[in-house]
Amino acid sequence: MKYVIVGNSAAAIGAVEGIRKVDKDSPITLISDEPYHTYSRPLISYYLAGKVSQEKMYYRNEDFYQVNKVETILGVKAEGLDAAEKVVTLLNGQKVGYDKLLIATGGKPFVPPNLILQKSGMYSFIKLDDVKEIEKIAKSGSKTVIIGAGLIGLKAAEGLAKLGVDITVVELANRVLSAILDEEAAAFVQDNLEEHGIKFELNTTADKILGEDKVSGVVLQNGKELECDFLIVAIGVVPNTDLVKGSEVKLNRGIVVDEHMETNVPGVYAAGDVSEGYDTIYKQQRVLPILPNAYRQGENAGKNMAGAESVYAGGFAMNSIGFFDYPMITAGIIKPEGDEFESLVQSDPACKSYKKIVLRQDVIVGFIYLNKVDRAGIITGLISDQVNVSTFKQALLEDDFGYIDFPVEERKVRMLKGGRSA
């Protein structure tokens, strides 16, 4: 059996470890267009700010590939798939055959036509190479415009602020982090970011990029003109399905897979941000672009590739992040629409804290926790286990909420078994 994995982040590493739990010796070839040892992409903003070294970003020990008997082909892009012949073609012309293939190519930046990265001084903020280019010109007093106030754009802003860069973030929505925060929570976060010198232009986006060969500024749709020494496009990320376009592999927004992470083409699997997994809250296949989910999908794929029976039971979107030591955890549905939903809210401007829990038929389907996040893990567990909270929902927002508030039988299950029985 010959395994080939295209990708080198969480899903790919999960697959290597999943394979090796079942098959200790068959050859594994891992292909990545990046030349680096596997690293944690969420840490690139900390690298930019000088808080971590490149070595501290590594997702696994430096001997990971050797220990797991993995042959690596790094710094070379996989550009074609012939599923009939079971061959992956690389950009350098090399052809790599496989018996089982995992596509773990993750996401790629969404860039509108008017913001194509053609001029000098225009960057994405997805990979380590992006940050290495940005750090060459990100000096104290330099100016940047960041297009996009999502997680990537704001993490870029945080890293650059620590370097003394003058930053303006431009966002088409009416608030920052519009995918994971409601208006009230977003206002708290924006206030915190503005306290650190970051400026915002909301309800607008870039209309025109100024400069001949090098970026010199941006004209916004609202008519304002912003000068900048460099521009970061961080509007969003889409599944990187380039490898399978034109092949027999079925695509929706991401690569369509079954509960074993196998595509419609036998022997071809997909995992991580490039694939669609089952969302237990929305009860449908969706792209779930979070690192723990990518690892679990990859591990399940690896086990199945090696002949074991492993089912990916699903997950839901959750983000645990912070800006300038202001923590937040959000998950699931945060702006419900419809009479079947109920929202519980506790807002404390003096402490800059905010809690919101969204229920559907007395089952938690989403939450936002800002600043005070101590009990978020319990809420996450209630979502995962789809527990009916009708008998204790009045206690959910209390600062001391805990197992003591659960019904006796539910409390016994969680305290004695560490979770709710299936």
Residue 141 and residue 216 in one domain: yes
Residue-level pLDDT at 408: 72
Asked if the structure places residue 44 within a domain, the reply is: yes
pLDDT recorded at residue 420? 43
Q: For residue 200, what are the contacts with CB-CB under 8 A and spacing of at least 6?
A: 149, 168, 169, 170, 171, 176, 190, 193, 194
Residue where one domain finishes, among candidates 271, 305, 339: 305
- Claim to verify: residue 38 and residue 133 sit in the same structural domain: no
**Any domain includes 311:** no
- Specify the length of the chain in residues: 422
Convert the pLDDT of each residue in 249-274 to its tens digit.
999 999 999 999 999 999 999 999 99
pLDDT at 419: 44
pLDDT at 422: 34
The CA distance from 131 to 110, in Å, is 17
HEC string of 345-356 equals: EEEEHHHCEEEE
Residue 286 burial (CB count, 10 A): 19
Separation between Cα atoms, residue 295 and residue 42, nearest integer Å: 14
333 CB contacts (<8 Å, ≥6 apart)? 281, 282, 341, 358, 360, 365, 366
- Pair 103, 125 in one domain: no
**312 within domain boundaries:** no
Domain annotation covers residue 161: yes
- Number of domains present in the structure of the chain: 3
401: left (phi over 0), alpha (psi -120 to 50) or beta: beta
Domain identity same for 126 and 82 = no
Long-range contacts of 216-219 (CB under 8 A, 24+ apart): 217/145, 218/145, 218/147, 218/170
The last residue of a domain, from among 192, 215, 235: 235
314 in any annotated domain: no
In a shared domain, residues 340 and 298? no
Which residues form the domain of 185? 113-235
Query: In this predicted structure, what is the pLDDT of residue 417?
Result: 53
CATH number reported for the structural domain that contains residue 343 in this entry:
3.30.390.30
pTM of the model: 0.91
Distance separating alpha carbons of residues 232 and 371, to the nearest angstrom:
28
Query: Would you state the pLDDT for residue 199?
Result: 98
Examine residue 287 and state whether it is found in any structural domain, yes or no.
Answer: yes
Domain co-membership, 79 together with 226: no
Q: What is the pLDDT of residue 140?
A: 95
Shared domain check, 349 and 410: yes
Kindly state whether residues 94 and 201 are assigned to the same domain.
no
Instruction: Quote the CA–CA distance of 120 and 212 in Å, as a whole number.
Output: 9
Note whether residue 293 is domain-resident: yes
Residues 122 and 223 in one domain: yes
CATH of the domain at 169: 3.50.50.60
| Nearest in space to 105 (alpha carbons), one of 126, 84, 82 | 126
Query: Do 129 and 274 fall into the same domain?
Result: no
- Asked which of 193, 220, 235 is the last residue of a domain, the reply is 235
The residues that bridge with 227 in the sheet, in sequence order, are 217
| Residue 256, C-beta contacts closer than 8 angstroms, at least 6 positions apart | 250, 263, 264, 275, 276, 285
In a domain, 316, yes or no: no
Q: What does each of the 422 residues of the chain score in pLDDT, given as a tens digit?
A: 999 999 999 999 999 999 999 999 999 999 999 999 999 999 999 999 999 999 999 999 999 999 999 999 999 999 999 999 999 999 999 999 999 999 999 999 998 887 877 789 999 999 999 999 999 999 999 999 999 999 999 999 999 999 999 999 999 999 999 999 999 999 999 999 999 999 999 999 999 999 988 999 999 999 999 999 999 999 999 999 999 998 999 999 999 999 999 999 999 999 999 999 899 999 999 998 889 999 999 999 999 999 999 999 899 999 999 999 999 999 999 999 989 999 999 999 999 999 999 999 999 999 999 998 988 989 999 999 899 999 999 999 988 887 777 777 666 666 555 544 33
pLDDT of amino acid 374: 87
Tokens of 408: 């006796």
Q: Do 231 and 117 fall within a single domain?
A: yes
Do 123 and 228 sit in the same domain of this protein?
A: yes
